[in-house]
Structure 1
Amino acid sequence: MCSAGTEKNEERYVHATNPHLEYMKEDFLYHFNLGTATHDLPAMFGDVKFVCVGGSPWRMKEFIKYIAGELGLVSPDGEYPNLCEETDRYAMYKIGPVLSVSHGIGVPSMSVMMHELIKLLQYAQCSDIIVVRLGTSGGIGLKPGTVVVTKQAVDTMFRPQFEQRILGKPVVRGTELDADLADELLECGKEHSEFETIIGNTMCTMDFYEGQARLDGAFCSYTEEDKQKYLDSAYTTGVRNIEMESTVFAAMCKLSNIRAAVLCVTVLDRLKGDQVTIPRDVFKRFEQRPQNLMGLHLQTSPSSDIGVFLSL
């Protein structure tokens, strides 16, 4: 059975580092349609210990239903309402200490969601939080269906950093993820013999087509040989999959004192092609695999408060 680390010595609170928040009379989290003046955030979210985020609203609703069943925390009325139902930007679901939130596609969408999620968790006075991104990705040299636990989130130059422009100037932030949490999830992966789980670097791009060296976009200024050389170089540096959110996710979690991990299943081997052509039913089975690993981790984590909720 996989093990999830050592017992905590002291509470680790979420920390939004913006000093201006202290002087705001109220804060309306616009894209969640939740606010400090309109909602009792500590009452609604103060018991949250695990947050799982993923691109698709549908996938995150399916995840909360799956986790509810796995943990025996089924909603009394059988319904799992979207806590952000009055906005169409993101979806949010909760059962017990588990929060499930969609983040859309790409760095900008992830960034907006993470700003508001981090503030939400701070306003709710949450501590000892684990946040995990569950997603799909393109693999490099891997059999489709392989789950990659991210060791380092890197940019398109294979650097473990996230760079953005603030006030017109470049700001670079580190993208270190929690190594112990990654090891714990990798151990959980060994329990699922029907698919392989590996650890490797994840490359985050700003685009699905040219940014990922695809040949099938509307524009392409490089050759197939150029593409292969680039992907081979990525593999040599330790990159095993490609997606579009991991660097900003890792950077923001690090800044906020949050333990974080990224779990992505590969849906194709980019060394063999560019288009995702697997049947829809196979795709759905693949995208459940990160959920399965997270479910196992939740059930076996000695440092979590899941056992408290199961005994109530």
Structure 2
Amino acid sequence: MPDCDCDYMLPTKEGWEEHYDNCISKWNSNVPCPKYADGSIRLLNKNLAGMQQDFIYHLGLDTAKYDLKSMFGDVKFVCMGGTKYRMKEFAKHMAKILNIDYEANNLSKHSHRYAMYKVGPVISVSHGIGISSMTILLQEILKVLYYAKVKNPIIFRIGTSGGLKIPAGSIVISSWGLNGTLEKTYDLPVLGKIRKIPSVFDKRLVQELQSMVTEEDGFITYSGGTMAADDFYRGQARLDGPFCDYTSEEKQSYLQHLCALGVRNIEMEATAFAAMAREAAVRAADVCVTLLDRLNGDQVTTDKELLLKYQERPMVIVGRYIAKYYEKINKT
């Protein structure tokens, strides 16, 4: 068995996983591990090696005009979220807690699609709503990290969600993703056939993030399953969409069934995010705040000011975790 290559972010505590899921000592797939010995990303698509120039279209970057290694070679963390506003605010948050002089500069402004900012070792980038938009962004970020020869990156998704039997304002750190047919897979049609890719997040990373929460934070943090719906209304059993062909009782029965399966929240990205990160042997975590308990209703009625405060909570946890890394490298 190969030796462990974990770059431990925090000292191991009792009950924690000994290794990260992408540790070479745990890699038991029938394909080579998609990272090199130094921890840099090793994308297994052989077609990339034969390209003289790669246009990373939706980020407005390419491998000829831009020196991606110079721009992003020092990156350790990528944090993704739905809206451009949220990710701009996260970039400002990271600049403050890392004490870095920073002026917001959207590095993907020429694409007119996503917004991407860089603060020290951190990329903060928007991904839009839903799996289709998020996976375009994620795959292009993986290519940027590959060309930049980034070593052992960690990718976070911070977002909002509907909770299940937990109060609004709670944080859910996802253990696994569940699709609309109640399977822990991301189902992707490729060449006319469905490929089922396992949707599981790194166990130790979840444990490390949970350890960042304190009683003084004033909110509760849960870990568990996250359902990723393909639709905001019927796909999430809402009663308030333009179409609804089920009863309130059927909706409640379905949501209760999700709870029994261990699902803590519902959003629209987790399955694909977990699956693609795992396929690339990149550690990833999905950290979402709940805006309501879906068992008590469908519409978000909380006032805007409180919602904005809720959305800061995933930033607090992820930012605190990144700060621990920054403290670590400054001591060495």
The residue number in structure 1 matching 2:16 is none
**Structure 1 residue 88: Cα displacement:** 1.6
Q: Secondary structure at the match of 1:104?
A: coil
TM value normalised by structure 2: 0.88
Equivalent residues of 1:190, 1:197 under 8 A apart = no
Equivalent residues of 2:226, 2:265 under 8 A apart = yes
The residue number in structure 2 matching 1:170 is 194
Mean alpha-carbon deviation: is it higher for 22-31 or for 10-19?
A: 10-19
Matched, 1:130 2:157: no
What are the superposed Cα offsets for residues 6-39 of structure 1, whole Å, 9 maximum, x if unpaired? Answer: 5999632223221211111110100000010010
In structure 2, list runs of 5 or more residues that go unmatched: 1-8, 13-18, 24-36
Q: What is the distance in 1 between the residues matched to 2:105 and 2:215? A: 32
The residue number in structure 1 matching 2:287 is 263
The residue number in structure 2 matching 1:67 is 94
**Structure 1 residue 5: Cα displacement:** 4.6
The residue number in structure 2 matching 1:109 is 133
Equivalent residues of 1:140, 1:231 under 8 A apart = yes
Q: Secondary structure at the match of 1:218?
A: coil
Matched, 1:11 2:74: no
Matched, 1:27 2:54: yes
**Structure 1 residue 193: Cα displacement:** 3.5
The residue number in structure 2 matching 1:211 is 235
The letter of the residue matching 2:187 is E
Which residues of 2 match residues 69-218 of structure 1 at below 5 A?
A: 69-75=96-102, 79-218=103-242
Q: Secondary structure at the match of 1:189?
A: coil
Equivalent residues of 1:156, 1:203 under 8 A apart = yes
The letter of the residue matching 1:4 is L
The letter of the residue matching 2:78 is V
Q: Secondary structure at the match of 1:31?
A: helix
The residue number in structure 2 matching 1:45 is 72
The residue number in structure 1 matching 2:312 is 288
Change (3 A) 1:129 1:191: farther
**Structure 1 residue 260: Cα displacement:** 0.5
The residue number in structure 1 matching 2:247 is 223
Equivalent residues of 1:52, 1:133 under 8 A apart = yes
The residue number in structure 2 matching 1:278 is 302
- Displaced runs of 4+ in structure 1, greater than 6 A? 7-10
**Structure 1 residue 306: Cα displacement:** 5.4
What are the superposed Cα offsets for residues 201-249 of structure 1, whole Å, 9 maximum, x if unpaired? Answer: 1000100000000000000110001100000000000001000011111
Q: What is the distance in 1 between the residues matched to 2:168 and 2:38? A: 39
Q: What is the distance in 2 between the residues matched to 1:305 and 1:188? A: 15
Give me the identity figure in percent. 43
**Structure 1 residue 156: Cα displacement:** 2.1
What are the superposed Cα offsets for residues 166-219 of structure 1, whole Å, 9 maximum, x if unpaired? Answer: 111111101121100000111112354411111111000100000000000000
Matched, 1:57 2:84: yes
The residue number in structure 1 matching 2:27 is none
Q: Secondary structure at the match of 1:47?
A: coil
The letter of the residue matching 2:10 is A
Q: Secondary structure at the match of 2:111?
A: coil
User: How much is the aligned-residue C-alpha RMSD, in angstroms?
Assistant: 1.8
The letter of the residue matching 1:209 is Y
Q: Which of the numbers 266, 269, 272 marks the counterpart of 1:248?
A: 272
Q: What is the distance in 1 between the residues matched to 2:39 and 2:177? A: 23
Q: What is the distance in 1 between the residues matched to 2:45 and 2:182? A: 29
Query: Which one has more relative contact order, counting CA pairs under 8 Å at least 6 apart?
Result: 1
Q: Secondary structure at the match of 2:212?
A: helix
Equivalent residues of 1:147, 1:263 under 8 A apart = yes
- The size of the alignment, in residue pairs, is 303
The letter of the residue matching 2:99 is G
Equivalent residues of 2:98, 2:326 under 8 A apart = no
Q: What is the distance in 2 between the residues matched to 1:158 and 1:276? A: 25
**Structure 1 residue 73: Cα displacement:** 1.3
Equivalent residues of 1:4, 1:297 under 8 A apart = no
